[in-house]
Amino acid sequence: MLKNLLERRRRKEPDKEVEEFRNLMLPPDQFEDGFNWTALIGAMFIGLIMVPGSIYMGLLAGEVNIGPAAQWVTVILFIEAARRAQKELKKAEIFILFFMAGVAMSMPFSGLLWNQFYIQSDAAKANGISPLIPSWFAPDPSSESYVKRTFFSADWLPVIGLIFFQTFFGQIKSMVLGYGLFRMTSDVERLPFPMAPVGAQGIMALAEDPNDAKTGQTSWRWRVFSIGGAIGLAFGILYLGVPTITDIISGRPVKLLEIPWTDTSPNTQHILPAVATGMSWDLGNLLVGFVLPYYAMVGTFIGLIVTLILNPLLYKYEILNTWIPGDNTVQTVFKNNVEFYLSFQIGISAAVAAAGIFQVVKAMRKHAEKRKRMLADQEDLRFGEPPKGRGDIRPLFIFICYTLITVIYILVCGWLIDWHPGVMIVLVFFGFLYTPLISYVTARLEGMAGQVVEIPMVKELSFILSGYKGVAIWFLPVPMANYGQMTVLYRQAELTGTKFTSIWKTKIVLYPFILLSSMLFASFIWSLAPVPSAPYPYTEKMWELQALNASVIHSSTMDEYSIFEDAIDWNNIGAGAAFGGALFAVMSFFNAPVFLTYGVVRGLGQSLPHMIIPQFIGALIGQYYFRRKLGLKWRQYAPVVVAGFACGQGLIVTACVGLKFLSKAAISVPY
């Protein structure tokens, strides 16, 4: 690899991997409206079938696994139903169905289950946080609703009302500002958006007729999608189906493959002290390695190796001095985070953010020079204008809408926090300065390399400097977000020929129905068993770690001493910043691929080898077997395989959830 980097440095070659992604798909000449009666029926299907499946299986195996699966299940079922009705769904209609399912999977009512857990968690109680949590995040644990395990109680009304408010206005802000950023980065700057074709390729596969009318042969997209679907069905039965069915029959889930991972940290402690080790058996991780850029996975693996070497050294020199032999993954990760990695990652993230902003400024200068040359040569005078019929809106509306909603956010937060002056200054800073800036930087990085940038600890530092004492500030609906990732959605819509107005109409119609459905099924799932508990192995392992990490941050604004003071070390922050800066300098000197640089950053620190190892194996198989056998076509095949896998696994998920709900809804009689 070093030889290749030196050669790239000598030749100053462009990033070939980015160029490959740039040319994967081109937008069509015409755009269609995908919002119609099919979309309305799809909304009902998603709310009544996919939402409960998403919540339930998110608790069982993790939300990352179920989200894409639910999207593809929804789309494939509607396509097959339409074909049997002698109707073909257009690409725009398929995209809107896919989009609706994605929105539904991200709705927050599964978060109600987290709220009830966190206020009762040992971490929140041990740090004195639980009694200070406001009623608009979770009611007092002495409430009768905790005994009955239901959200249909007057005590939960403030929580639900605030979620309705935050989700509704947050979705509008996301749509409007995301669209504005897309216009700037795609129409004006012509960035490639390398990750956008991943979802668009799967949609194109489903939109095709399975049999080519000219040749009479099966479409390659359908063949590849079907292969992925068969793999997803088979693996879904073993990984998710067997535990669910055995839990229904015997009350104890039997797991053929450990969920979410097998923890080997206590077994490797003599060789790798203070290192969390294990293996995730989710085949989806292997397939994700097919889709992710190869150099990104190489960089991630390099970062992981550095961590495996660094942690034992830090333990030897008593920097990681709270780890003890026998600690499992959750305990190891939390202790290492407090002792070193929270501060170190702040430094690295600061360097990454600075590098991202530098890239933006550099690219803006190049773009300005390019525009001047084009105007001087009288070429492409329509540069930056949107295609006709795409459903674009005026820039003035973007500005007015964003400003109005941000003001509403600030007023609501001010009322909840009793108009604390320091907090009000912070809210204005987040709404009108930080959010637009970080969203634009991320939009450009998404457009160039499929990466997201976040400036670390901005929220935490701002809250601490505000002078507020207590924990209520951490649960405010703060007008702080990164909307740069929305640009990928708009690029996918453009690639599939979908009018942007379809997206906006869909959200307006979908929002109320999905929220009500989410609340209903979250309450029903809570009534089946406590969350976390044995039927939900993912929550048993991960929510404890998440509560511990959250309690460290939330304790920072309390009057008394908190664990947060131990976690912040300016020497470690400086070391992280120096390392991150040196990394980007070396990579820039060798003209290294953009994906490699960000991959190294991802692999450093607390990234679990449980997921990274199978992803890296998938990347190697894709690069050195499928890529050599299929050539550049592999770039097109890989996302379609993953889409099929998610669909097949999602079908198993849907069937299992239905059986689970039916078994719990049955009433036993004594005769």
Tens of pLDDT, residues 248-283: 888 788 888 888 788 898 888 889 898 889 998 888
Domain range summary for the chain, segments of one domain joined by +: 2-664
Length of the chain: 671
Radius of gyration of the CA atoms of the chain, in A? 25
DSSP code at position 32: B
**C-beta of residue 292 within 8 angstroms of C-beta of residue 615:** yes
- Lowest mean pLDDT across 151-155, 207-211, 610-614, 633-637: 207-211
Phi and psi (nearest 5°) for 153?
-145, 150
- Across residues 620-648, what is the average pLDDT? 83
User: Which pLDDT tens digit goes with each residue over 122-141?
Assistant: 888 888 889 999 999 999 98
**Who contacts 346 (Cβ-Cβ below 8 Å, separation ≥6)?**
456, 457, 573, 576
pTM for the model: 0.73
pLDDT of residue 210: 60
Q: For residue 119, give the nearest of 413, 563, 543, 665 by alpha carbon.
A: 543
The Cβ of residue 136 has, within 10 Å, a number of other Cβ atoms equal to: 19
pLDDT of residue 629: 87
DSSP-based three-state secondary structure for 419 = coil
Q: Which of 79-88, 96-105, 329-338, 604-613 has the highest mean pLDDT?
A: 329-338
Asked if residues 557 and 473 have their Cβ atoms less than 8 Å apart, the reply is yes
Strands (E) across 214-327 are located at: 262-263, 278-279
Percent of the chain topping pLDDT 70:
80
Of residues 250 and 238, the one with the higher pLDDT is 238
Tell me, what's the pLDDT at 157?
A: 92
pLDDT computed for residue 379 by the predictor: 46
Buried b (16+ CB within 10 A) or exposed e, 460-484: bebbbebebebbbbbbbbbbbbbbb
Better-predicted residue by pLDDT, 77 or 556:
556
Evaluate if residue 87 carries a pLDDT over 70: yes
Cβ contacts of residue 486 below 8 Å, gap of 6+?
Answer: 174, 175, 177, 178, 179, 181, 182
Confidence check: pLDDT of 535 > 50: yes
The reported pLDDT for the residue numbered 205 is 65
Question: What does the block give as tokens for 572?
Answer: 């470690």
Residue 473: pLDDT band (50, 70, 90) is very high
The mean predicted confidence, pLDDT, of the chain is 79
